Amino acid sequence: MSIEECKEIAARAALAEVLNEMVLGLGTGSTVERFAELLSSEIKKGLRIKVVPTSYHSIQMALKYGFEVLPIETVDKVDLVVDGADEVDRKLNMIKGRGAALAREKVVAYMALRRVYIVSYDKVVDKLCSTKPVPIEVLPFAYNYVMKKLRELGGEPELREAGRFKDGPLITDNGNFIIDVHFKPLDDPHELESKIKRIPGVVEVGLFCGIADVVYVGRPDGLEVLTNS
């Protein structure tokens, strides 16, 4: 079974949590795209929901599938957030931010009454930072200082480049830079998250600790459900 099919298994499990009239935080990324596609079929059958997007990518999905959108600025609560992740440990700590949407994703997660994450099996690790760096959104003018402080915390920071269509750094939906930081596999992601958050110039950290209520993991042999109980 392909990774794409595993993403669909996780997305279907999240779909079962969506109830009529819910306000839904819509995450970012390819797994959420699968979820959005499935959701659009339910809407065609009569399900009524509104979505709060977590990025311009998420707005594009909402427009593509004809979802009613509530701008993030206009809400302080959502019933359910459904989002992807880059790494998940078995205590439900996560790394997010490959899509550079971590700041809005975290704000919407904190607004949510229930937080559901959907991943394929390759995202599950024993310790965070085993395979991925931690993305950090920073104020552009502070990036050199923040990189120095991240090195003092034992990290190897790298400013994320925009790539093919723009020279220089990637600019987030909020007009900031992203620093990807490689750390040795983490024993205490909570502690690292707090330390990074205290560096002036840091907007948000892609460590999501103690946030998820459930992570649905799509595996070739079916669904695995990780909960925080």
Residues that bind ligand 5RP (CB under 6 A): 27-31, 83-86, 96-102, 105
Please identify, using beta-carbon distances, which residue of 79 and 87 lies nearer to ligand 5RP.
Answer: 87
Indicate which residue of 33, 105, 137, 204 is catalytic.
105
Select 97 or 157, whichever has its Cβ closest to ligand 5RP.
Answer: 97
Instruction: Give the nearest distance from C-beta 167 to ligand 5RP in angstroms.
Output: 23
Let me know the angle formed at the C-alpha of 14 by 57 and 203, rounded to the nearest 5 degrees. 45
**Is the Cβ of residue 1 or residue 145 nearer to ligand 5RP in the bound state?**
1
- Check residue 86 and give left, alpha or beta (phi > 0: left; psi -120 to 50: alpha): alpha
Catalytic residue status for 105: yes
Closest CA to 193 of 101, 106, 122, 104: 106
Shortest distance in whole angstroms from residue 30 CB to ligand 5RP: 3
Please state the closest distance from residue 170 (CB atom) to ligand 5RP, in A: 12
Angle formed by the axes of helices 30-44 and 56-65, nearest 10°: 30
Residue nearest to ligand 5RP (CB): 29
Exposed e or buried b for every residue in 166-181, given b needs 16+ CB within 10 A?
A: eeebeebbeebbbbbb
Whole-number Å distance between alpha carbons of 116 and 14: 7
Quote the CA–CA distance of 92 and 211 in Å, as a whole number. Answer: 8
For residue 61, the SS3 value is helix
For ligand 5RP, the closer of residues 21 and 216 by Cβ is: 216
Smallest distance from the beta carbon of 81 to ligand 5RP, in angstroms? Answer: 11
Q: Which active-site residues does the annotation give?
A: 105
